[in-house]
């Protein structure tokens, strides 16, 4: 299945999300930065575009708790990076939608309870053909 978007970054204007956004631009991948607050999201994108002119960054304003909106965005995306917190409230539902839409999933959580919950989903992800990397908070991601 061909998907027009390379990366969907959820929580793109939070502390970690904005750092991930800065790291992704200029790598040659298309990035859709997503968040609930349009003003904060557009400010984060503008800050990145000022540092990296010509950066390929789109915006998507939606609440990841809205299952239909999340499913719609994920179905057009190859990889989702989940930087939405708190993970105990949002992480498992986002991970399940990634599996449902066969979208590769990365999160940066450090909470062990969340990690154990989503680790239980890894077999489902593998069966669906979705790559899975939970708790990547201490790792270096090279694109």
Does 105 fall in a domain? yes
pLDDT at 139: 54
- Please list the rounded mean pLDDT of every run of 10 residues in the chain (143 residues): 88 94 90 97 95 90 96 96 88 93 90 78 84 66 46
pLDDT at 138: 55
Domain of 84, CATH number, reads 3.40.50.720
Residue 9 lies in a domain: yes
* Predicted local distance difference test score (pLDDT) of residue 10: 98
The whole domain housing 31 covers 5-138
E-assigned strand segments in 1-143: 5-10, 31-35, 57-61, 77-82, 104-107, 132-133
Structural domains in the chain (count): 1
Report the phi/psi class of residue 102: left, alpha or beta, with left for phi > 0 and alpha for psi in -120 to 50: left
Contact present, 110 and 103 (Cβ < 8 Å) = no
Domain assignment of residue 143, yes or no: no
The per-residue pLDDT for 54 is 83
| The pLDDT value given to residue 1 | 56
pLDDT value at position 33? 98
């Amino acid at each position: 299945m061909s998907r027009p978007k390379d990366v969907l970054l959820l929580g793109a204007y939070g502390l970690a999300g904005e750092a991930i956004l800065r790291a992704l631009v200029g790598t040659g991948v298309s990035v859709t930065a997503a968040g609930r607050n349009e003003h904060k999201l557009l400010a984060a994108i503008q800050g990145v575009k000022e540092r990296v002119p010509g950066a390929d960054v789109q915006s998507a304003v939606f609440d990841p708790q809205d299952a239909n909106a999340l499913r719609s965005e994920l179905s057009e995306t190859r990889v989702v990076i989940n930087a939405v917190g708190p993970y105990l409230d949002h992480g498992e539902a986002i991970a399940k939608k990634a599996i449902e839409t066969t979208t590769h999933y990365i999160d940066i959580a450090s909470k062990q309870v969340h990690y154990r919950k989503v680790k239980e989903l890894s077999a489902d992800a593998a069966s669906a053909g979705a790559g899975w990397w939970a708790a990547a908070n201490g790792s270096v991601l090279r694109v």
